[in-house]
Structure 1
Amino acid sequence: MKHRLLDRLLLPARVDTVERWAPRLRLITLTGPALAGLDWLPGQHVRLRVAAAPAAIDWLLGTLRTYTVWDYHEQRLQLLVFDHGDGPGAGWSRTARPGDELMLLKPQGNFTTSPAAYHLFAGDETAQAAYGPMLRALPADATVLARLEVDSPSERLPLSREEGAAKGPNWDLEWSYRRGRSAAAAQTLVEAVRGLDLPAEPGMAYLAGEARTIQLIRNHLVQERGWPRRNVLTKPFWTPGRKGLD
């Protein structure tokens, strides 16, 4: 494995298993002694070296891509990777095999849950990687409102208490399906959030997925419903024509 200047900050690991969970979703499990004892909060991500970079900067870090941590325990760290596009991250997810060695930064990020009267989640299929662990970590009596939009039922992951991944009596989770329509600036998802009968008191909102859709939902909550901006956390994973979004 080639050595680079940033290696002193990176942790070595290897691919343990690769599982296809949905047509465009792979669960990649990493293992290794260096992964023991990490501080991780559900919703945080890691930056993973997936390829070499252009020669001028390859000596420093290589090409890094960001992946949300689906689960972590002892020396096992799981990444739920959405397969799309033709970039180096997509290429790595398609070719990763058990035994492959790699380097990654420790978990980081502030897209995590906070105490609130209720929790609102909205996003597309790419948001599931963050929402799964965040929902699992909420208290059993938490009030959860969620509106999720994916292309088809085959891309749904088990996020709700009925599906066995999280428990709580006060859940209102609904799915909608695009059936081939674009996920960019998805008005159907915006309208699903607009149609919620929310309490007068703001809760905490977590918006993840396509950047323009997130902006529209945030504008609705802040401008139309009067929520403080600090009560709306956003995580833009992608948008057409742009690379490098977290």
Structure 2
Amino acid sequence: MRSPADLLFLSGTVEEIEAVTHRMRRLRVTGDRLRTIPWLPGQHVRVNVTPPRDWLRRPGDARRSYSVWGLDRDRGSLDLGVLDHGDGPGAAWSRTARPGQSISLSRPEGRLTLRESAYHLFVGDETAAVAFAAMLRALPTRIPAYGVLVTDRPGGEVPLPADRQLPWVYRGDADPADGRTLLQAVRALDLPGEPGSGYLAGEARTCQAVRDHLVRDRGWSRRQIVVKPFWAPGRRGLD
């Protein structure tokens, strides 16, 4: 008989860990129940990053969200993108994760998924790139994609589909929460005259600033924009 935790969470094992950039790692998780779960490109899972004894005592530290790079139901494997940043419980867990380690995680969830649209706009930092890569792979080739991503320096670019590359800009030594570099790059984008569907993900205030630009300066409706704040300095649960 399954325990209450088994009904709420999926169980898996870290099979392998691969460095993708100097700060991003791909974690492959395997588990029998991963063969049957639904997933839409762009969705994330919530990983339990603290011991069960702490889930009720420190609920704000219990889980952290990680974007799904891909799901292979035949293998029963799920690839997660994990960025090493900050000092929160998620960062602490990711730095100690090792092959063979058991983990528990939620089913894929989230509204950062593709919509029907004449074209698509993807804007975010490196934390958004894993979800965007999955969405770009699923996008029909006939549908145009625009966008821009920001990271700290060359070599920090998370791989995107070869036929769906987006430009990267670099903030250098600036605070990762300083969204000016990305906002300036979005302002310079040559987009079609009519709005499409926009996906903004990454640092919370930067996402808000880009959305404001699209609405105020380019005539987009808020309904045409999906915003997914992955992190924010000092905000519990988004560290």
Both structures adopt the same fold (TM-score exceeding 0.5): yes
Residue 18 (1) aligns with residue 20 (2): no
Task: List gaps (5 residues or longer) in structure 1.
Answer: 160-164
Task: List gaps (5 residues or longer) in structure 2.
Answer: none
- Which deviations, in whole Å up to 9, do the C-alpha atoms of 1:10-59 show, x marking residues without a partner? 11111100111111111000001121111000000111111126758159
Residue 194 (1) aligns with residue 187 (2): yes
- Which deviations, in whole Å up to 9, do the C-alpha atoms of 1:159-211 show, x marking residues without a partner? 1xxxxx2426xx7x321111111122411211211122222211011111111
Give the total of aligned pairs. Answer: 236
Partner of residue 125, structure 2: 124
- Relative to structure 1, the CA distance from residue 218 to residue 154 in structure 2 (aligned partners, 3 Å threshold; closer, same or farther) is same
1:162-173 aligned at under 5 Å gives the runs: 165-167=161-163, 173=166
Contact 2:17 2:27 in 1 (8 A): yes
1:70-219 aligned at under 5 Å gives the runs: 70-74=69-73, 75-159=76-160, 165-167=161-163, 173-219=166-212
Contact 1:4 1:61 in 2 (8 A): no
Letter in 2 for 1:135: L
Contact 1:52 1:62 in 2 (8 A): no
Partner of residue 222, structure 2: 229
Residue 245 (1) aligns with residue 238 (2): yes
1:15-94 aligned at under 5 Å gives the runs: 15-52=14-51, 55=54, 57=56, 63-74=62-73, 75-94=76-95
SS of match in other structure, 1:107: coil
Contact 2:126 2:149 in 1 (8 A): yes
* TM-score, scaled to structure 2: 0.91
Q: In 1, Cα distance between the equivalents of 2:4 and 2:127?
A: 32
SS of match in other structure, 2:193: coil
Q: In 2, Cα distance between the equivalents of 1:178 and 1:220?
A: 19
SS of match in other structure, 1:47: strand
SS of match in other structure, 1:16: strand
Contact 1:46 1:108 in 2 (8 A): yes
* TM-score, scaled to structure 1: 0.89
Q: In 1, Cα distance between the equivalents of 2:120 and 2:26?
A: 26
Letter in 2 for 1:84: H
Q: In 1, Cα distance between the equivalents of 2:63 and 2:235?
A: 16
SS of match in other structure, 1:153: coil
- Relative to structure 1, the CA distance from residue 178 to residue 185 in structure 2 (aligned partners, 3 Å threshold; closer, same or farther) is closer
Contact 1:44 1:112 in 2 (8 A): yes
Partner of residue 162, structure 1: none
Over 4 Å off, 4+ runs: 53-56, 58-62
Q: Give the percent of matched residue pairs that are identical in Structure 1 and Structure 2.
A: 48
Contact 1:5 1:59 in 2 (8 A): no
Letter in 1 for 2:112: F
Q: In 1, Cα distance between the equivalents of 2:228 and 2:237?
A: 13
Q: In 2, Cα distance between the equivalents of 1:184 and 1:93?
A: 21
Contact 2:183 2:206 in 1 (8 A): yes
